[in-house]
Amino acid sequence: MTSPTDPLACRDLWRSVLVTIVKDLCGTAVDRAAVREAERWIGSWMSRDFLEVCELAGADPARTHAELTALLPLSPRERRAEVRARRHALPELSDAA
């Protein structure tokens, strides 16, 4: 038996994955390993996983990657401040930081 899938609910689910990555990147996670994992997942180039998550979230992969890689050289505290300042740039990440 199949059931219809709500495309907006699916998009929101994948947006929550991106929000979680940003929260981990900003050091809001209890586990420092989560910060390192978020940094690796974002990386210096867009992986297939990154592209797929962005596409499923309805986010522009190139723009999202550019915004997130700009955070990598910053400390978690600086990242949080930057995310708060840039919320308008990536509305799909408005729940982050």
CB-neighbour burial class of residue 8 (10 A; exposed 0-12, middle 13-18, buried 19+): exposed
Specify the pTM.
0.80
Contact (CB, 8 A) for 25 and 39: yes
Contact (CB, 8 A) for 59 and 90: yes
Of 45-49, 50-54, 60-64, 84-88, the least confident: 84-88
Q: Is 39's pLDDT higher than 50?
A: yes
Q: Is 81's pLDDT higher than 50?
A: yes
Average pLDDT over residues 8-14: 94
